[in-house]
Chain A
Amino acid sequence: MKIELNHITRIEGHAHLVVDRKQGEIKDCRLEIVESPRFFEAMLKGRHFSDVAPIVARVCGVCSISHTLASLMATEQALGVEPDAKARLLRRLLSFGEIMQSHLLQLYFMAVPDYLGISSIFQLLDSRRELVARALRLKRTANRICEVIGGRPIHPVTTTIGGFSVMPYVSDLKHLRQELVAALPDLEATVELFAGFDFPEFERETEYICLSDPGHYPLHANRFCSSSGLNAAVTDYKKEVEEYLTGYSTAKFARTARGSYMVGPLARFKNNFPRLSPMARKVASALTIDADTINPYHSLKARLVEVVNYVEESIHTIDELLLHGLNGTKPRAVPTGGGQGTAAVEAPRGLLFHSYTYDRNGLLDTADCVIPTAQNLANIETDLKAILPELLDRSDQELTRRLEMLIRSYDPCLSCSTHLLKIDLV
């Protein structure tokens, strides 16, 4: 008998879950991504380089900043523009803000209801109003970082080729720092909340891929690595990663030579455990998670660890920026000639690649983006197929609930993954 869960709730984007079981056997289990494809690659062709990042930001509302930065960096590489140290710091801070708000949204609004046995966080408005208020407060602080640096959290306006068109005010950065420090009690309460949840026991080892940046928890870098020994330049991603289409999904899937793999918080956490900030490591031990975990449900714990990690890193980055001084806006360099550029960032959900070629007039010729969620889709399906046998005896309702929780632990962003389509005739 078939279980069809249309328009899975509490994820970003639209997907159907289809489980076909018959007398104790799984005949079929698949995740149908039904989000409509949008052909961004076709849309970008012929656009001027100054328009590319703002258009590409519109691929996704939650991770528009990651797309913007990856796009700018790829364009900068193609056209030969080098952002200065101040711009790089500001971009890091902006990314911290975005990842924090994305994680907090996912943790509190999408995941928490599952672990409290309710269907949405708004059901707690009467009984546990403080919890909802806390979620909104934390999200507010994260969004504030994006506002101060980027102008607004969704589709930033200050980001530009070479850096930023407007510098943030020193007073705003100082207030932000105070807000971040003031958020620590709320974070403690969040950790206590999650430490008390029962996470399902399920383990399956896979390949964990993320950027690699010596000395730093990775964010913006030009090399990527994996738990299976992969170590390559971002510009060579096509040699390591293959994207392919299925007959039922509007999103592409991805694999390495070794099969499906995982990107995202858990991959970053596992590959970079020694580079976590001191506070983040405390949180990891409070949540009883370490670098050896292979339980995909632990992505949620990794997300919370990352939130605290980025709070601490944001404070240090603000201090560094204030020492640097923020005087003067960068003059807008107008690069000439064309070129090819590839860049990668760690978006909230994992490794994001953007690759462009420009013609001599600075107009975009080809574009390619590899989305974190698209890279995870094969892994999600493999996990679903692996976990199903243990759930066969459960009720339909319980079964779907557990599968949904698994899907949600990946925090898929389906608007992103269906952004563009390149169809190869087979």
Chain B
Amino acid sequence: MKKTRIGFFDFTGCEGCQLTVLNLEQDLLEILELVELVEFREVMSEQAGHLDIAFVEGSVCRQQDREQLKKIRQRTDILVALGACADNGGVNALGSDRGPELMCQQVYASHLPHLQTDPPQALSEVVPVDYRVPGCPIDGHEFLAVLQALLLKRQPDLPTFAVCVECKLAEYPCSFDHGEICLGPVTRAGCRAICIDGGDRCRGCRGLIENPRTSPYHRLLEEHGLTVDDILDQYRTFNIGEQKSES
């Protein structure tokens, strides 16, 4: 049976998500038994034609990136956004609210056109994206699960519940008990609450769950002394924004 052809691509990002794939070590060897790795610029010189699955990391910032992405979309059956930058702009979009400064930069950059960029975009703003592996960086196990689902021609299942679940299952101390603001209650689980395990708080790098309970959550943040601006600012670190829906 012909092996599934997969490839890795990247735009503007830190390449940490692709590195996470390489860090799968022994599991990577097993994966390579099942798939054919046909393109992965960071560690391979080969280039391929048609692909079955393309994993794309990074945000899109310039016209040449957009064109490049469209070409990738054309030569692959399935396109998966790999990591927060590809999924929703991630940390790249952190400066996008700095209107005047950024514009100022762009004014100067007109003297150096090669330095001009547009506000960073998620892949889905340019081409249709089939699936995602969220996080900054992605979780290696989640990547394997998504890949596995695609190999089995199944829909990949991301958790629909919040990081709080993983914290409670693992009995971690709650950040709020230490007076820290945590985005766990509205952020998608799947990372095994690794940041809380490490003594840090959740900054929402995996994006919001489908139906975040924003109203009681904002009330909780206000209880801890945050203003409305503070709360919006929390969402900005990884550009997870605000969703309107609420049950």
Contact, chains A and B (beta carbon distance below 8 A): yes
Q: Which A residues have a C-beta under 8 Å from some C-beta of B?
A: 7, 9-13, 34-40, 42-43, 45, 51, 54-55, 58-62, 64, 105, 109-110, 113, 119-122, 125, 132-133, 136-137, 139-140, 143, 150-158, 160, 164-166, 245, 247-250, 329, 415, 421, 423, 425
Closest 5 CB pairs of A and B: A61-B16, A165-B199, A157-B198, A151-B198, A120-B44
B184 at the interface (CB under 8 A from A): no
Q: Are the C-beta atoms of A42 and B14 separated by less than 8 Å? A: no
B236 to chain A, nearest CB (A): 10
Q: Are the C-beta atoms of A158 and B199 separated by less than 8 Å? A: yes
**In the bound complex, CA of A151 to CA of B117 (Å):** 34
Note all chain B residues with C-beta closer than 8 A to A64. Answer: 14, 16
Q: With A10-B43, A121-B43 in contact, do A250 and B198 touch (Cβ < 8 Å)?
A: no
Q: Are the C-beta atoms of B197 and A166 separated by less than 8 Å? A: yes
Q: Which B residues have a C-beta under 8 Å from some C-beta of A?
A: 11-20, 22-23, 25-26, 28-29, 32, 37, 40-46, 61-62, 64-65, 90-92, 94-95, 98, 101-102, 105, 108-109, 111-112, 114-115, 117, 120, 136-137, 194-195, 197-200, 203, 237
29 contacts between A and B (CB under 8 A): A34-B64, A37-B115, A37-B117, A39-B105, A42-B105, A43-B98, A54-B203, A55-B237, A61-B14, A61-B20, A61-B137, A105-B22, A119-B46, A120-B44, A122-B37, A136-B29, A151-B194, A152-B194, A152-B198, A157-B194, A157-B199, A157-B200, A158-B200, A164-B199, A165-B200, A166-B199, A250-B115, A415-B13, A425-B108
Q: Are the C-beta atoms of A143 and B23 separated by less than 8 Å? A: yes
Q: Are the C-beta atoms of B61 and A36 separated by less than 8 Å? A: yes
B209 to chain A, nearest CB (A): 21
**In the bound complex, CA of A143 to CA of B16 (Å):** 13
Q: Are the C-beta atoms of A140 and B25 separated by less than 8 Å? A: yes
Note all chain B residues with C-beta closer than 8 A to A11. Answer: 42
Note all chain B residues with C-beta closer than 8 A to A250. Answer: 114-115
Interface of A is mostly: loop
Note all chain A residues with C-beta closer than 8 A to B25. Answer: 136-137, 139-140, 143
Note all chain B residues with C-beta closer than 8 A to A136. Answer: 25-26, 28-29
Note all chain A residues with C-beta closer than 8 A to B44. Answer: 9-10, 119-120, 122
**In the bound complex, CA of A38 to CA of B89 (Å):** 12
Q: Are the C-beta atoms of A154 and B19 separated by less than 8 Å? A: yes
Note all chain B residues with C-beta closer than 8 A to A150. Answer: 198
Q: With A36-B117, A42-B102, A132-B29 in contact, do A160 and B137 touch (Cβ < 8 Å)?
A: no
Q: Are the C-beta atoms of B112 and A133 separated by less than 8 Å? A: no
Q: Are the C-beta atoms of A247 and B18 separated by less than 8 Å? A: no
Q: Are the C-beta atoms of B112 and A329 separated by less than 8 Å? A: no
Closest residue of A by beta carbon distance from B40: A120
A11-B42, A109-B22, A139-B22 given; 17 more Cβ-contact pairs under 8 Å:
A10-B41, A10-B45, A13-B15, A35-B12, A36-B12, A54-B203, A59-B14, A61-B16, A61-B18, A62-B16, A62-B19, A64-B16, A109-B43, A119-B46, A132-B29, A140-B26, A166-B197
Q: Are the C-beta atoms of B43 and A60 separated by less than 8 Å? A: no
Note all chain B residues with C-beta closer than 8 A to A121. Answer: 43
Note all chain A residues with C-beta closer than 8 A to B108. Answer: 423, 425
From B28, B109, B136, name the one whose CB has the most chain A CB atoms within 10 angstroms.
Answer: B136
**In the bound complex, CA of A170 to CA of B91 (Å):** 34
Closest residue of B by beta carbon distance from A419: B14
From B17, B19, B101, name the one whose CB has the most chain A CB atoms within 10 angstroms.
Answer: B19
B203 to chain A, nearest CB (A): 7
Note all chain A residues with C-beta closer than 8 A to B120. Answer: 38
Q: With A38-B92, A421-B115 in contact, do A122 and B32 touch (Cβ < 8 Å)?
A: yes
Closest residue of A by beta carbon distance from B58: A36
**In the bound complex, CA of A370 to CA of B14 (Å):** 17
